[in-house]
Structure 1
Amino acid sequence: MDTHPVASADEPPRQPARTAQDVRRIDYSGEGLVEADVAESPYLQARAWVDAARAAADERADVPEPSALSVATVDASGAPDVRTVLMRFFDERGPGFVTNLGSTKSQQLRGNPRVAAGLTWPALYRAVRFRGTAEPLARDEVEGYFASRPYGSRLSAWASDQSRPAADRAELERRWQAVLERFPDTGSDDDVPVPDFWGGWRIVCDEVEFWAGRSNRLHDRILFRRTGPGDLADPGAWTRLRLQP
């Protein structure tokens, strides 16, 4: 006697249970990170890894956007939010990115400046995690960076009311055409002015963690934690410890 239930015509077909064999697994064969090889400050260590990732991107197809930075904030209710931007600034003061100052991320950072961000390079088996407080970029830095953007990227800062709803793609195209006519390409860095509503944020870090993938999931995690005043390049402002993977 067949005791298996029969699905009705209105029920979708049942999917087979997912098994461990369906999960793709990769053994991370990275170089790792031992204490003897860690730089004396989080800035020097991060600088070395960022430069290595950018150099790899020039030679390999599997490191396509080495400056891609995931930025996590919280909204007014305390719910987390994350998105990926490009790290356009990085020096002893911390990583920075540009954005519309009316965007969701900017509104959330004004409400609660606590922020976390991460750079991840899967093909290199490396990642860097930053935690700290966001502060606005200085206007001269914003203006200097804006002038270096390609003409189309400068136009898009005007065309997009970032994070606001759009009726459809056609609306974006109409907005683009309007700013194209407003700011024709003259070949000058000054043909598109910096919008008042466009700027950026820098992360003043309290923690910087370096992750290096190893075989058998026995990864290396080296954490720099702030213990005093000073920037990322000041060894005296940080203590270093190893975290278990």
Structure 2
Amino acid sequence: MIFDKEIDFYTKIAPELNSMLTAGGHDEIRVPWFVYSCMQPLNVLIFLEDLRARGLRCMTDIKDRMKHVKSVMQEVARLHALSYVLQARLPERDLTDKYLSLKKDWLNKGGEEKQMYTSMMAGNYDNTIVMPRKIGGYEKVAKWIEKNTQNCLDIMQNQITRVPPFEVLCHGDCRNNSMLFRYNDDSIPAEVMLLENQISRVASPGTDLTYFLFTSVSSDVRKPNLDPFLACYYSTFSSFIQAG
């Protein structure tokens, strides 16, 4: 399912978003070039370009954390805004009806699969409980995690439930492990590329923003700069909505 979603993104969704961008004189969204895929049983393959040739690499020692975060906020805003414009151009049809893979979501699974995912997530929760107790001062957090270990999938499902009109195409796994950066000569990020579009879905833009800001930005950077980060996102989002 997740490979099917990723192939759909590179072969159907990204090209349509890019056609809107190039028609308006903008740069394409920053995703790898798709080369080849095979979806035969026990032989699932996806080939993308080697991004090292473009100078893209994992996040290095952060020299300017503000610019890292802002570059991500701008790229996520472009993805969200373009999908919003695309939906506006399809008033009688939902994006998930045009791109059927968006209807598929591992959180929608039931029966044995849901139980498997719950067990997998519960194991992660058990490890997570250790952290707030070790740090100290977060006993309430630890108790909440303990209480909701078996409800984790239901809580996540509730968080991504579509609530019109706050609906855009979300990356779904918006964290620093799903991104590559290209740096200039001063080691400042000049470009960011979002990867691993395997769990993209239509949901509130807040799901991507919250996920990124609370998994990939340390509190000493996030707390005093939350308003500038959101203003950066909103500025890019609104400019592309108006252009579209």
Q: TM-score, normalised by structure 2?
A: 0.23
Normalized per residue, the structure richer in strand is 1
Which gives a bigger RCO, structure 1 or 2 (Cα 8 Å, sep 6+)? 2
Q: TM-score, normalised by structure 1?
A: 0.23
